[in-house]
Structure 1
Amino acid sequence: MSPLVSIVISTHNRAHYLREAVVSVLQQTYTHFELILCDDASSDETPQVCQEFQATDPRIRIVRHEKNIGMQANWSSGVAAARGIYFGKLDDDNHYEPTFLERLVEILETHSEVAFAFTDEWIIDESGKRNLPLTDELSQYYQRANLPSGVLVNPQLHAASQGMGINATLFRLSILREVGGFGNYGATADCELFLRLTSLRKSCAYLSERLAEYRIHETSFSTGLKGIRESEFPVQMWERYSFSDPQAEQARLERLSTSYLMLARAYALEGKLAEARQVLKKITPPLPGVKKAQLFHRIFSLPEALVRVLIKRKYSV
């Protein structure tokens, strides 16, 4: 019998997008799955949407939180509820292509040594329209554009380069639980999971096809300014890990430097300029971005009102 796949859709107040995400799972060519809808205390029509779908398909279960527990905890509730051999996590505003499960289950069944497999992904806008130029640009940036299909030779490099997308990945559930699931890193818990898995020498495979769609819009976490707490998580994550591979370590240092800049900006936006300057002092060789840090340090010595205008409009990181 085909192995059961557990798909978790974590959701909060996005009923209008949730329907599309659920349909993308129900349209899979691989049909032996359970779909777990983890609703983090939504106050819109999300509960009704979940119930409507559950009434039409016995493979659907609902995990409803009466009080908001946060993104990472909601993801973890899905891991706890899952009963499958394999596990996928899909955000409520993203989609799977119809053959996503079929193709990745085939890889995991063929390569028993692989802990997870992932694909490339399309970038779509608020309306669901694919953005080919941005898709190509990000595939290149995340080093997937020329990456051949197969078991990766240097998975740490791709984890450090953030080339693995959680919405385009299928895990072995046993290994996901073995390593502790999603850690307490806020919205960066998915990235930290890939860093942890590859640091523990877990192998992975890549499929050079775009079998998922990642939506960028005004309310997605990938856009907009972040507060201090959310900006602290990436700093803690990149400080925790280091790599013996020179390329992976360089990628980590680049992202650590950027995370320091983002945290400094978050402090400055809340008027905590002294704290912002202290964070910038951490950007020293061999970290890249020293000149930008020095520029920000000078900016953060200006009057607070002027600082807010500059960092919001001109000096983005």
Structure 2
Amino acid sequence: MVSGAMARPTVSVVLTTYNRAQVLGETLRGLLGQTFRDFELLVCDDASEDGTGEVVREFARCDPRVSYLGTGSHLGMPGNLNRGIRAAVGEYIANLHDGDIYAPTLLESWKAILDRYPSAGFVFNAYAHLDARGCVRRVQRMPFDSGLVPGRRLLEDFFFRSWRFWSPVWGTAMVRRQVYDDVGLLDPRYGFLADVDLWMRIAERWDVGYVDEVLIQLPSRRTLPRQVRSAWFKELSSLWAMFWRARVRHFRGRPCRLATEALRHCVYMVESFGFWALAAAARRLYYSLLVR
């Protein structure tokens, strides 16, 4: 690990990266220009082969807040992020991605919410999705103001509401350190989707903070260097398993609701394989049971 010496910071920024040296510098400059400055920046490189290490070391030589955490073998997203979380020393831990564009007030806004609401396990914000030209294609925001959201509401009204499995939270958020002691780290079984499982596990036990401002812009993946991706069916199978386990945990004491959620779960699985008529019939059955 390459780093400079600094006092224990309030915030640890864990930035995961893999083979994105050509865009990493812009991301690092954006983070180092944050209005809130009491943080360490841990760049977790998942065995990149494109000179990522040299890019980070150059920043570390100029700013003692930057540390480079390399690894000799490819760990995948969950393993790479978990080692950064273990190395972090701040009270709050921000999980960030290479390639995304961060507003200068991101860390300040996130920290203010966690400071104000001790029951919030993590905080996230509105996002802007960019097209290949860098123009805003759409903005994803929640239907409530900045502040505290009950974890149960986030699960039932958003994570579990869509017929297609969906997460209102992308991989970028700031988590209270003690939350990891409470719910654990990312589960490697879920690969690139492990962060979604983490947000659901936190929401089962904690409330959630939200900032109703577009603080992160997500570039089109077509404009970023390609990364290793797992097979489509493997990811889909992980998604099914993850959301089903989350439903079982959340509705364990409500057997009738769990039964209807099992039907909802099956509808999406059937739709995934193109059996639309069967899925439509199951959907009608679901709503009839829910009304009762």
**Whole-angstrom distance in 2 between the partners of 1:170 and 1:64:** 22
**Whole-angstrom distance in 2 between the partners of 1:216 and 1:57:** 30
What is the aligned partner in structure 1 of residue 101 from structure 2?
Answer: 95
What is the aligned partner in structure 1 of residue 146 from structure 2?
Answer: 149
**Normalised TM-score (structure 2):** 0.78
**Whole-angstrom distance in 2 between the partners of 1:247 and 1:27:** 48
Identity %: 26
The answer to whether the Cα contact below 8 Å between 1:158 and 1:164 also exists between their aligned partners in 2 is no
The answer to whether the Cα contact below 8 Å between 1:96 and 1:211 also exists between their aligned partners in 2 is yes
**Whole-angstrom distance in 1 between the partners of 2:258 and 2:63:** 44
The answer to whether the Cα contact below 8 Å between 1:71 and 1:186 also exists between their aligned partners in 2 is yes
**Whole-angstrom distance in 2 between the partners of 1:102 and 1:126:** 29
**Whole-angstrom distance in 1 between the partners of 2:99 and 2:259:** 32
What is the aligned partner in structure 1 of residue 193 from structure 2?
Answer: 188
Letter in 1 for 2:237: E
SS at structure 2 position matched to 1:171? strand
1:175 to 166, 172, 179: 179
Letter in 2 for 1:114: A
What is the aligned partner in structure 1 of residue 210 from structure 2?
Answer: 206
Structure 1: give runs of 5+ residues left out of the alignment: 266-276, 291-317
Cα-Cα RMSD:
3.6
Matches within 5 A, 1:273-284: none
Letter in 1 for 2:171: I
**Whole-angstrom distance in 2 between the partners of 1:121 and 1:54:** 29
**Whole-angstrom distance in 2 between the partners of 1:239 and 1:221:** 30
**Whole-angstrom distance in 1 between the partners of 2:257 and 2:123:** 22
Cα 1:69–1:198 shift into 2, 3 Å: same
**Whole-angstrom distance in 2 between the partners of 1:253 and 1:36:** 43
**Whole-angstrom distance in 2 between the partners of 1:56 and 1:104:** 26
Q: Does 1:233 align with 2:238?
A: yes
How many angstroms does 1:230 deviate by? 2.2
**Whole-angstrom distance in 2 between the partners of 1:105 and 1:2:** 16
What is the aligned partner in structure 1 of residue 138 from structure 2?
Answer: 135
The answer to whether the Cα contact below 8 Å between 1:122 and 1:130 also exists between their aligned partners in 2 is no
Cα 1:183–1:73 shift into 2, 3 Å: same
**Normalised TM-score (structure 1):** 0.72
1:119 to 113, 117, 125: 125
What is the aligned partner in structure 1 of residue 163 from structure 2?
Answer: none
Letter in 1 for 2:218: Y
How many angstroms does 1:228 deviate by? 2.6
SS at structure 2 position matched to 1:241? helix
What is the aligned partner in structure 2 of residue 56 from structure 1?
Answer: 62
The answer to whether the Cα contact below 8 Å between 2:124 and 2:210 also exists between their aligned partners in 1 is yes
What is the aligned partner in structure 1 of residue 82 from structure 2?
Answer: 76
The answer to whether the Cα contact below 8 Å between 1:159 and 1:194 also exists between their aligned partners in 2 is no
The answer to whether the Cα contact below 8 Å between 1:5 and 1:34 also exists between their aligned partners in 2 is yes
How many angstroms does 1:173 deviate by? 1.6
**Whole-angstrom distance in 1 between the partners of 2:117 and 2:185:** 22
**Whole-angstrom distance in 1 between the partners of 2:261 and 2:34:** 35
The answer to whether the Cα contact below 8 Å between 2:15 and 2:41 also exists between their aligned partners in 1 is yes
Cα 1:289–1:247 shift into 2, 3 Å: closer
Structure 2: give runs of 5+ residues left out of the alignment: 1-6, 161-165, 287-292
Cα 1:53–1:248 shift into 2, 3 Å: farther
The answer to whether the Cα contact below 8 Å between 2:8 and 2:89 also exists between their aligned partners in 1 is no
Letter in 2 for 1:32: D
How many angstroms does 1:98 deviate by? 0.3
Question: Would you say how many aligned residue pairs link Structure 1 and Structure 2?
Answer: 264
**Whole-angstrom distance in 2 between the partners of 1:166 and 1:230:** 16
